[in-house]
Amino acid sequence: MSAPAAPLTGRVPARRSLSVRPDPVALLALPAFAYLAAAYGWPLLVLLGRSLSGPQGISLTPLAQFLSDPFSWRVIGNTVRTALLVTLVCLLAGYPAAVALARARGAVQGLLLLSVILPLSVGVVVKAYAWQIVLRRDGVVSGLLVGLGIWDAPQRLLFTETGLVIGAANVFLPFMILPIYAVIRQIDPRLAEAAATLGASPLRRFLGVTLPLTLPGIVSGIAFVFSLAVSMYVVPSLVIGDRFQTLATLTGRAFLFMRDEQLGSTTAVLLLAVAVAVVVGSTALARRLGGGGQS
């Protein structure tokens, strides 16, 4: 007959370990972390400190000095204006390209993808050099526009702001296309169909369904392109030259030719501030818009 077994309580005393031992696996991260902290993190902090310190400790004098110069404001204006224009061109050209990339199948998609990724894998010096050739008075663009009857006579685009925007948009366009493509690819095509069965017109469907859903991708794309365009250095150097200064080219010149490190540090930190603001702001915005955005 089944007699009851001894009660089973209290057999397993739960003992709390007193010391929290660090996970030994974490040590594998140490070399990379130490390397990056020493070679990059610490110098970045020093740069930040230097731009915010005058002869008497912490001060905003260098920054105030820089901002009181009208030339500085012209440089800032140049920087922001070209970056905005480049971003706009990239958005207008990139959105349809991303839509087409997501809709395309097979070899067409492969070709489109290649036309985005191959230029992305080629260095900026090569592309800027090519634009220097293309934008000459006797270059391809001028010839094309004259041939189409848009221009009466050959003109030089090289060393103009228009030329700079065209060249920069070309270099940064993939950074607009890919984030938008990534988001469109994940959209359920049935949503647009559902909207159609509900009687929405094509335009309404686009504005009411597709566009809001792709917004996180658009935000990431704009953030990528804008922060890249604000700090571009090689493209302006080759395509527009020294007469047109942006924050980035001024920073480079301050260090490489003028040997004015105070000025260079100040402009560098301004660039850094813009980049951090754009990255943080766009990440937060993309997350609020429903994720899917990449950072």
Partner 1 sequence: MTATERTALALVWILAAASALFLMAPLVVTVAVSFGSSAVFTLPPPSWSTRWYERLWTSRDLWPAVWTSLRVAVLATALALVLGTLCAIAVVRGRFPGREALVTFLISPLMLPGLVVGIAMLQGFRAAGLRDVGLSLLIAHGVITLPYVVRTVVAALSLFDFTLIDAARTLGLSYPAAVLRVLVPGLAPAFLTSGLFAFLASMDNYPISIFFTDAWTKTLPIQMLQLVEERPDPTVAAVSTLLILLAVAVLILGDRLVGLRRLAEV
Partner 2 sequence: MPAPTPSAPTPPASAPSDPGFLTIVGAEKRFGASTVLGGVDLAVAGGEFVSLLGPSGCGKTTLLRIVAGLVAADRGRVVLDGRDVTRTPPHRRDVGVVFQNYALFPHLTVAENVAFGLKAKGHPRAEIPAVVARFLDLVQMAPFADRRAQALSGGQQQRVAVARALAVRPKLLLLDEPFSALDRKLREAMQIDLKRLLRELGITALFVTHDQDEALTMSDRIAVMNRGAIEQLADPVTLYRRPATAFALGFVGLSSRLHGTVREEGDGVLRVETALGTVRAPGRFRPGSPVLLGVRPERIRIGADGPNAIEATLVEVAFQGARAHLFFAGPDGERALLAEAPEIPAGARPGARLRLSWAIEDTLVFPAEPAQRDAA
DSSP 159-175: TSHHHHHHHHHHHHHHH
**Stretch of 12-20, 89-97, 188-196, 213-221 contacting partner 2, by CB under 8 A:** 12-20
Query: Considering the complex, what minimum distance in angstroms separates the CB of residue 246 from partner 1?
Result: 11
Residue 26 touching partner 1 (CB under 8 A):
yes
**Residues between 13 and 52 that touch partner 2 (CB under 8 A):** 13-17
Residue 146 touching partner 1 (CB under 8 A):
no
**Stretch of 6-14, 43-51, 76-84, 138-146 contacting partner 2, by CB under 8 A:** 6-14
Query: Considering the complex, what minimum distance in angstroms separates the CB of residue 11 from partner 2?
Result: 6
Among 64, 126, 207, 284, binds partner 1 (CB under 8 A): 126
Say which entry of partner 2, partner 1, none residue 265 contacts (CB below 5 to 8 A, set by partner kind): partner 1
Rounded to whole angstroms, the maximal C-alpha distance in the chain is 112
Query: Considering the complex, what minimum distance in angstroms separates the CB of residue 194 from partner 1?
Result: 16
d(Cα 141, Cα 134) in Å, to the nearest integer? 6
Among 18, 29, 107, 153, binds partner 1 (CB under 8 A): 29
The separation between the first and the last C-alpha atoms of the chain, rounded to the nearest angstrom, is: 69
- Encode burial over 127-162: b for 16+ CB neighbours within 10 A, e otherwise: bbeebbebbbeebebbeeeeeeeeeeeebebbbebe
Q: Which residues contact 121 (CB under 8 A, 6 or more apart)?
A: none
For the chain, the residue count is 295
Amino acid in position 214: T
Vertex 131, ends 257 and 156: CA angle to 5°?
90
Backbone angles phi, psi at 150, to 5 degrees: -80, -40
**Residues between 65 and 84 that touch partner 1 (CB under 8 A):** none
Among 6, 8, 12, 32, binds partner 1 (CB under 8 A): 32
Among 4, 13, 31, 70, binds partner 1 (CB under 8 A): 31
Residue 11 touching partner 2 (CB under 8 A):
yes
Residues in touch with partner 2 (CB under 8 A): 1-17
